[in-house]
Structure 1
Amino acid sequence: MKTTFRKLMALAIVAAAFVGCSDDDNNNTPSSSFVVDANNFQGTIADGEVQLNAGTTYKLTGRLLIADGASLTIPAGTRIEGIGGTAAYIAVAQGGKIFVNGTENNPVVMTSGLATPAAGNWGGLVICGKAPINRVTGGQSTASAEVSELTYGGTVANDNSGVIRYLRVEYAGAAYNQLKEFNGISFFGVGSGTVVEYVQSMHGADDGFEFFGGTVNTKGLVAFGNEDDLFDWTEGWNGTNTDWYGKVAFGKGNRGIEADNYEDGFANTPVSNPTITNLTLIGAGSTADATAYAENDAIKLRRGTRGIFANVVLSGWKNGFALEHDETIAAIGTTLKATNVSVASDVTNLTVGKTTAGTSANVAAAVTEGASQGAGNGIAAPSWTANWTTGL
């Protein structure tokens, strides 16, 4: 009898434990009303968590919106192919989250789904957060994102829009006009609680990466062959960044970095003032794009932006650092400076400057030369780009 009783008690304990585990699993795996169709991947994820399947190819046929309170998780090896032109893009609204869980040997790839891929085949990735922007001085304004019409900006500096690791974005972007353009990835008021590490944007029809205000930090960004700027920021972006590698393709793009504070308020606050450590920018040559562009600048700083740069390698540009406007120039030596800068012989001018009135300005004090490996390997692709990037 004692033996039978003990057996019954043991079975009861196991059953209780099993039920407890099942309840926990259900609680930790939120459901969503969104129905995934891998061949027609579009719509609004309005609630819960959607988890894609590793190794599956999803055909992005229209806008995929991740709404407030919802999330999308993309495992390593997943491929998303845009086949709907610029109407096909992924947008994360304020309060939504995206989790890209690629790995060094198995990145997530968002690319063209056409047989002959080309820049602008799909819209790209747009993320909207609640961190400060400076369209109204003081940083408490919100605005409507230029390509998704979603609200962005606010007062939550540490806002969290998710985690992005080991992602490649290819053949995205489009420039409709000066005020409306898709980039490979657009960060609109994205906060510092968001993780962005090891991301490549290549062969886009506009900028590789653009930051519209916000406080997001980045590590391991790679921009290659985009048709406008490799990197761009405006509207008061402040972020701490390390390991950026950018390379133009011949005849594609004229600037490594194009940076503003805000085009309609050069002194608006918060002032754009990111820190970038370990930076390599490779141009197509000082005269390669002379017929297409008036300027060929590695780093264009204007309209009041500041920036702290350290360990920089520049090659293949007409101008290294091109500074414009009084508000920008006034920050030289304090919140605008570049140290340990290595410039190849094919850079014609280390620095050029122009005041708001259009007269020439001596801005040489902004840059201190020194031996540097830039992003890690001089002008060559750094070791941390191995396995997950392409085209370099």
Structure 2
Amino acid sequence: MKKTFLAMTALFGLALTSCSSDDNNNNNNSGDKSTFVLKVDDLKGNINDGTVTLDPTKTYTLTGGLVVKGGATLVIPAGTVIKSSATAESTSLFIAVERNAKININGTAAKPVVMTSGKATPAQSDWGGLIIAGNGIVNTGANGTSEVGGLSYGGTDNTDNSGNINYLKISYTGSKFSATKEYNGVSFFGVGSGTKVSDIYTYESGDDGIEFFGGAVNATNLTIINSYDDSLDFADGWQGTATNVYIKGVSKAGVEGSNNEKDPSGALPVTNAKIVNVSIIKGGATFLSDEKAINYKEGGGKQAYTNLYVADDMPIALAKLATDAGAVANMNAGFFTITNYTFGAQITNVTGPKLSGATSGQTGAGAGANLPTWADWTK
């Protein structure tokens, strides 16, 4: 009996040891099991099938590209923390979601999902960022390839569903391959309106904070702080609405919007963006805002801003204006509009947009230059 008991104890200890470092997803609570082996201290690789659910009680180390392949799903529960490797090449560190795959980021205000740098002294561009590709309509073509991550994107379905993002803190992103090839904080390539996006906080992105390339995904409650290119960017026929956008720390433009880089006036569908309740604040002296509050770029398309607050520290010109034929025609047609606004007293050049509505008392994202209450969770 004693020998049997000792043998059973040894086997039990061995079982505990074998499970200590890995979270094999075949043992999670999902009914749709995956062959992907989840390692807390070595998060990378292709999730080829099934559903992988992270454990919110553990801090994961991203050691390479983590790619959710078509047909698979990645679930990230509230309170989960992912840190990039402190030693791996920064451009190799990213999370990507292919067409026909899903990511469900299920954070809450009390327990957001956190994606950040693992370095002792974090800085912008320590790692790549989050990239999502969908089957939405893009005016650059139905089978584009994302400039980072190498994901195919675009199609014919603007209602496509890539999952959901709720309460995500993502920081120190934007690593660079070159001056023209860089990650953003969060990039949406051809993502459809079936994808639900709310409450994203980007901080210290080496490139744009959030960018939309075509598609029709909508987003609410975006807090974009300290971006070292543009803060909010959209292009390539995006047909979406961004509601409640607080921007501070502007290097280039607060908002950059374009139709198509290579075919500014002819590419269809024309970008049709609605930006509702937005505050733009330059931030400290290191931020120059040298492409103004709004950069109406490369055909521009249709851009409608409602309840826009631009702080006292922004440049005297409200907008930087493209001079290509498409952009000029769209402005002349009244497709660049601002309805209800409050501009800092120093803004004396408002050439470009068609202005209408109230000219004072507008609170932008909710509290003018101050952080709105809906963003209190980011503190």
Checking the alignment, whether the CA contact within 8 Å between 1:322 and 1:351 is kept in structure 2 is no
TM-score (norm 2): 0.86
Checking the alignment, whether the CA contact within 8 Å between 1:343 and 1:350 is kept in structure 2 is no
Aligned-partner Cα distance in 2 for 1:235–1:364: 20
Query: What's the CA shift string for 1:150-208, capped at 9, x where partnerless?
Result: 10001011011001000010001124335421000111111110011000111011110
Aligned-partner Cα distance in 2 for 1:73–1:27: 11
Aligned-partner Cα distance in 1 for 2:361–2:153: 40
Bigger shift: residues 272-281 or 168-177: 168-177
- Show the 5 A alignment for 1:1-392: 29-83=31-85, 84=88, 85-136=90-141, 141-177=142-178, 179-248=180-249, 253-267=251-265, 268-284=267-283, 295-305=290-300, 306-315=302-311, 316-318=313-315, 319-325=317-323, 326-332=325-331, 334-347=334-347, 349-352=348-351, 363=352, 365-366=354-355, 369-387=359-377, 389-390=378-379
CA spacing shift, 1:224–1:181, aligned 2, 3 Å: same
* Secondary structure class of the residue paired with 1:86: helix
Identity among equivalent pairs (%): 38
Aligned-partner Cα distance in 2 for 1:304–1:284: 29
Query: What's the CA shift string for 1:56-80, capped at 9, x where partnerless?
Result: 1100000000000000000111000
Checking the alignment, whether the CA contact within 8 Å between 1:173 and 1:181 is kept in structure 2 is yes
Aligned-partner Cα distance in 2 for 1:110–1:384: 20
Letter of the 2:100 partner, please give it: G
Checking the alignment, whether the CA contact within 8 Å between 1:167 and 1:199 is kept in structure 2 is yes
Bigger shift: residues 234-243 or 176-185: 176-185
Q: CA RMSD in A?
A: 2.0
Larger gyration radius, structure 1 or structure 2: 1
Q: Which runs of 5+ in 2 are unaligned?
A: 1-27
Checking the alignment, whether the CA contact within 8 Å between 1:298 and 1:321 is kept in structure 2 is yes
Superposition deviation, residue 43 in structure 1? 0.5
Query: What's the CA shift string for 1:248-293, capped at 9, x where partnerless?
Result: 0xxx6121011111110012111111111101110137x8656xx8
Checking the alignment, whether the CA contact within 8 Å between 1:289 and 1:296 is kept in structure 2 is no
Query: What's the CA shift string for 1:213-239, capped at 9, x where partnerless?
Result: 111100001110111111111111110
Aligned-partner Cα distance in 2 for 1:227–1:43: 29
Aligned-partner Cα distance in 1 for 2:278–2:160: 26
Letter of the 1:320 partner, please give it: L
Superposition deviation, residue 350 in structure 1? 4.0
Query: What's the CA shift string for 1:293-326, capped at 9, x where partnerless?
Result: 8x34011112112211100100121122332233
Aligned-partner Cα distance in 1 for 2:356–2:299: 17
Letter of the 2:67 partner, please give it: L
Superposition deviation, residue 124 in structure 1? 0.3
CA spacing shift, 1:52–1:370, aligned 2, 3 Å: same
Checking the alignment, whether the CA contact within 8 Å between 2:91 and 2:176 is kept in structure 1 is no
* Secondary structure class of the residue paired with 2:327: helix
Checking the alignment, whether the CA contact within 8 Å between 2:32 and 2:50 is kept in structure 1 is yes
Checking the alignment, whether the CA contact within 8 Å between 1:339 and 1:370 is kept in structure 2 is no
Aligned-partner Cα distance in 2 for 1:113–1:72: 21
* Secondary structure class of the residue paired with 1:228: coil
Checking the alignment, whether the CA contact within 8 Å between 2:337 and 2:353 is kept in structure 1 is no
Letter of the 1:61 partner, please give it: T
TM-score (norm 1): 0.83
Superposition deviation, residue 142 in structure 1? 1.6
* Secondary structure class of the residue paired with 1:221: strand
Checking the alignment, whether the CA contact within 8 Å between 1:71 and 1:97 is kept in structure 2 is yes
Checking the alignment, whether the CA contact within 8 Å between 1:71 and 1:96 is kept in structure 2 is yes
Checking the alignment, whether the CA contact within 8 Å between 2:336 and 2:353 is kept in structure 1 is no
Query: What's the CA shift string for 1:108-144, capped at 9, x where partnerless?
Result: 00000111101111110000001011114xxxx2211
CA spacing shift, 1:386–1:364, aligned 2, 3 Å: closer
CA spacing shift, 1:61–1:342, aligned 2, 3 Å: same
CA spacing shift, 1:80–1:27, aligned 2, 3 Å: closer
Aligned-partner Cα distance in 1 for 2:35–2:61: 20
Aligned-partner Cα distance in 2 for 1:289–1:77: 32
Letter of the 1:63 partner, please give it: G
Aligned-partner Cα distance in 1 for 2:353–2:125: 38
Letter of the 1:340 partner, please give it: N
Letter of the 1:94 partner, please give it: R
Aligned-partner Cα distance in 2 for 1:367–1:304: 22
* Secondary structure class of the residue paired with 1:131: coil
Superposition deviation, residue 27 in structure 1? 11
* Secondary structure class of the residue paired with 1:202: strand
Letter of the 1:238 partner, please give it: Q
Aligned length: 342
